[in-house]
Amino acid sequence: MLDTSQFDLQAYLKERMEYVNQALEGYFPAAGAYIGNLGEVMRYSLFPGGKRFRPILTLACAAALGADPKCALPIACAFEVVHCFSLVHDDLPCMDNDDLRRGKPTTHKAYGEDTALLAGDALVIEAFNLAAQNVIADHPEITIQLVRELALASGHLGMVGGQILDMEAQHHGATRESLLAVHRGKTGALIRGAARAGAIAAQATPQQLEAITEYAELVGLVFQITDDILDCAQDPDPISFPSLFGLEESKEIARQKTERALNLIEPLGEKALPLAALAQYLLVRSV
Amino acid sequence: MLDTSQFDLQAYLKERMEYVNQALEGYFPAAGAYIGNLGEVMRYSLFPGGKRFRPILTLACAAALGADPKCALPIACAFEVVHCFSLVHDDLPCMDNDDLRRGKPTTHKAYGEDTALLAGDALVIEAFNLAAQNVIADHPEITIQLVRELALASGHLGMVGGQILDMEAQHHGATRESLLAVHRGKTGALIRGAARAGAIAAQATPQQLEAITEYAELVGLVFQITDDILDCAQDPDPISFPSLFGLEESKEIARQKTERALNLIEPLGEKALPLAALAQYLLVRSV
C-alpha cells in the first residue's frame, strides 16, 4: 500500500480546485463574447461550483501516469461542464423541481425555465468544444478518443442512461441490482470517464488504462455509498445503499472496494499518492 | 451559371434522403443496446424525420468538391441529430409548448416531459459521438475540426444563441436587425455548419471553404425568407421577413441572394449541380 500519511490531501484538493476554477474562468470569461444573457447564465451554472471532483480526478490520473496535467486540462474541464449541465437539467420542474442548489437559487429559479433549458444545452455542447481542443501535440487521434470518451460517459449508455433508470426505479421500486445500475450510469459513468480521460491524455498503456478504469469504478461506488450513508443520517427514507444493503453491509462494501482500489494503483508508485489519498478520504468521511 | 435544366432535383433529394435515413438507422438501430426506453424515445424523435435538408447539404458540399460523400456521412448525420434534438427541446412546454410535430405527438406528449428532456440530451451527446467517428483515414485532425464545427454551429454562439435571441425578440419586439440575427443563429448556423462540415471532410482549400460558407449563408437566408413567405400565406401575424421587410422586398432579397449563391459555386462545375439546383429550388418554391 502507498503510504499517504505525509500527504496533505486537503491542501492538494484546494490547490487543484483553484487550478480548475481558473481554467474554467478562462474558457468562460465574464467579459467573453456571448449572445444575449447566455454567458451570464452559463457562468451562473458553473460558478462558484462544488468540489470539482471529476476534473481533479482527471488531472490526478494524468499525473499518476507521469504526464503533465496541463495536457488533460481541457478534457478535465469538459467533464466538469457536463456535470454542471446535468445539474441544471436535473433541477428543472419536470425533473427534480429543485429551488436551491449549493445554497443559491437553481438556474431556472434565477433565469426562468426556458433560459435554463437552453443554457444547459449550451453547456453540454461547449463541453465537446473543450474536449476537442487539440492540446496533445502531434497526437490528434488522442483528442478524438477523448471526445468519444466524454460522449460515451455522458450519453445514453452513461449518465443520461442512468438518469432514465433512476426515473424508472422511482416509479417501479428499486432492487439492489437496479440501485447498482442507476449508480453505474448516473454518477459512476462520469467519474469513470473523467479518470479514463486523464489516463488517455497521458497516453496510458492498455494495462494502465484498465487499472485506472477499475480504480475509478471502485472509488465512484465508494463515493456513492458514503454519500448515501451521510444523507441517510439526515433522512433515512430514500432508496439508497443503506436502505437496500443495510448500514453495516454498505460500510463493509465501501471498505473492500477501497482496498481493491488502493491495490490497483500501488504499482504506479509515488505519483499516485493523490489517487490513494483520495480513495482513503472517500471511505473515511463516513465510515 | 450552371445549367440545371437537365438535373432532376426531386429524384436526387429522395435518393439522398433515403441514404441519410439508412445511415441514421445504422447509428440508432431499433434492435440496438439501449438503457430503459431511451432507444425507443430517441428513435421516435429521429424517425420518420423531415426532409433531411442539413445532412443532404453536407453530402452535396463534399461531393461538389470531388470527395466521396461517404467520408462526410457521420458528420452529416450528426448535424441532423442536433437538428432533431433542438426540435425535441423546442417543443417542450417551457419553450413553444407544441403538441404536434410532423403530424404526430411531440416527444414529450408521447413520453412525458422528463423523458423528452433526457432523450434530447442523449441525442445531442450522441451527435458528438458520431462527429468523432474517424472516417477520414490518416487525417484525425480533420475529425477534430468537424467536432469543433458542430459545437460552434450548434452551441451558444450558434443555434442555441439564436434561440435565446428569439426569446428576447418575442419579449421585447423585433427589428430587421434582430430578425436577421435570430435567423443567423437559430436556423442559419446549423445550415452553415452542415455545409462547411461537408467541405472540411472533403479537405477543401481555404478558398473553397470560404465559397461554400458564403453559399450556405445565402441559401440559409433564402430558405428562411421563403419559409416565412409560405407561412405568411397561412398566418400573416408573427415576426417574419414579410412582416418586417414587406412581401416584395423579401422576394427581391431572396432573388439577389440566390443569384450570388449560384455565382459562388459556378467555378466548381458539374459536381456542384445539386447545390445549384437546391439554391434555385429554395427560391422558386415561394417566389
What ipTM does this complex have? 0.97
pLDDT at B156: 98
Nearest partner of A128 among B117, B110, B82, judged by Cα = B82
Which H/E stretch holds residue B101? strand B100-101
Question: pLDDT of B56-95, one tens digit each?
Answer: 999 999 999 999 999 999 999 999 999 999 999 999 999 9
CA distance A220 to chain B (A): 20
For B116, name the nearest residue in chain A, comparing CA atoms only.
A94
Average pLDDT over residues B256-261: 98
Neighbours of A271 (CB within 10 A): 15
Q: Do residues B28 and B123 touch, judged by C-beta distance below 8 A? A: no
Cα→Cα distances A98→A17, A46, A81, Å: 26, 17, 19
CA distance A210 to A212: 6
Query: What is the residue-averaged pLDDT of chain B?
Result: 95
Neighbours of B180 (CB within 10 A): 17
- What is the torsional sign of CA B159, B164, B170, B172? negative
**Inter-chain CB proximity B155 and A36 less than 8 Å:** no
How many C-alpha atoms does A143 have within 13 Å on its Cβ side? 27
CA distance A122 to chain B (A): 5
CA distance A274 to A272: 6
Which of A89, A147, A162 is opposite residue B128, by nearest beta carbon? A147
pLDDT at B267: 97
> What residues in B contact A132, CB-CB < 8 Å?
144, 147-148, 151
Q: Do residues B194 and B153 touch, judged by C-beta distance below 8 A? A: yes
Residue A105 reports pLDDT greater than 60: yes
Question: pLDDT of B155-204, one tens digit each?
Answer: 999 999 999 999 999 888 889 999 999 999 999 999 999 999 999 999 99
Which of A33, A112, A140 is opposite residue B140, by nearest beta carbon? A140
For B149, name the nearest residue in chain A, comparing CA atoms only.
A129
Beta strand ranges found along chain A (DSSP E): 100-101, 104-105
The domain segmentation of chain B, as residue ranges, is 9-284
Residue A117 reports pLDDT greater than 80: yes
CA distance B127 to B143: 13
pLDDT at B286: 67
Question: pLDDT of A134-146, one tens digit each?
Answer: 778 789 999 999 9
CA distance A200 to B119: 28
**Inter-chain CB proximity B156 and A131 less than 8 Å:** no
Which of A36, A125, A160 is opposite residue B151, by nearest beta carbon? A125
Which residues are A104's β-sheet partners?
A101
**Inter-chain CB proximity B147 and A131 less than 8 Å:** yes
CA distance A272 to chain B (A): 31
Which of B37, B114, B124 is opposite residue A125, by nearest beta carbon? B124
Rg of chain B in Å (alpha carbons): 19
Specify burial of residue B43 (Cβ count, 10 A radius: 0-12, 13-18, 19+): middle
What percent of chain B shows pLDDT beyond 90?
Answer: 92
Which H/E stretch holds residue B100? strand B100-101
pLDDT at A19: 98
Query: What is the residue-averaged pLDDT of chain A?
Result: 95
Neighbours of B97 (CB within 10 A): 11
Q: Do residues A133 and B155 touch, judged by C-beta distance below 8 A? A: no
Neighbours of A121 (CB within 10 A): 26
**Inter-chain CB proximity B38 and A161 less than 8 Å:** yes
Cα→Cα distances B126→A197, A255, B197, B251, Å: 18, 36, 17, 38
Specify burial of residue B255 (Cβ count, 10 A radius: 0-12, 13-18, 19+): middle
CA distance A164 to chain B (A): 7
Residue B127 reports pLDDT greater than 90: yes
For the entire predicted model, the pTM comes to 0.97
Nearest partner of A280 among A212, A272, A83, judged by Cα = A272
CA distance A153 to A159: 6
Q: Residues B114, B118, B121, B122: what is their CA dihedral angle, to the nearest 10 degrees?
A: -160
Among B88, B129, B133, B178, the residue to mutate for chain A (most A Cβ within 10 A): B129
> What residues in B contact A33, CB-CB < 8 Å?
157
Residue B246's identity, in one-letter code, is: G
Residue A57's identity, in one-letter code, is: L
> What residues in B contact A185, CB-CB < 8 Å?
35
Phi, psi of B250, deg, nearest 5:
-60, -45
pLDDT at A170: 87
Q: Residues A112, A118, A123, A126: what is their CA dihedral angle, to the nearest 10 degrees?
A: -150
Residue A287 reports pLDDT greater than 60: no
Eight-class DSSP state of B230: H
Q: Residue A286 — pLDDT band, cuts 50, 70, 90?
A: low
pLDDT at A54: 98
- What is the torsional sign of CA A224, A230, A234, A235? positive
Return the C-alpha cell found at A264: 490497483
**Inter-chain CB proximity B144 and A144 less than 8 Å:** yes
What percent of chain A shows pLDDT beyond 70?
Answer: 99
pLDDT at A255: 97
Cα→Cα distances A173→A170, A176, A245, A246, B144, Å: 6, 10, 15, 17, 43
Q: Residue B138 — pLDDT band, cuts 50, 70, 90?
A: confident
Q: What is the largest CA-CA distance in chain A?
A: 53
Question: pLDDT of A23-54, one tens digit each?
Answer: 999 999 999 999 999 999 999 999 999 999 99
For B124, name the nearest residue in chain A, comparing CA atoms only.
A125
CA distance B287 to B268: 27
Average pLDDT over residues B230-253: 89
pLDDT at B171: 86
Domain B9-284 homologous superfamily, CATH: Farnesyl Diphosphate Synthase (1.10.600.10)
Q: Do residues B238 and B227 touch, judged by C-beta distance below 8 A? A: no
β-strands B100-101, A104-105 pairing: unpaired
CA distance B102 to A159: 30
pLDDT at B134: 77
What percent of chain B shows pLDDT beyond 70?
Answer: 99
Nearest partner of A185 among A154, A214, A212, judged by Cα = A154
For A86, name the nearest residue in chain B, comparing CA atoms only.
B121
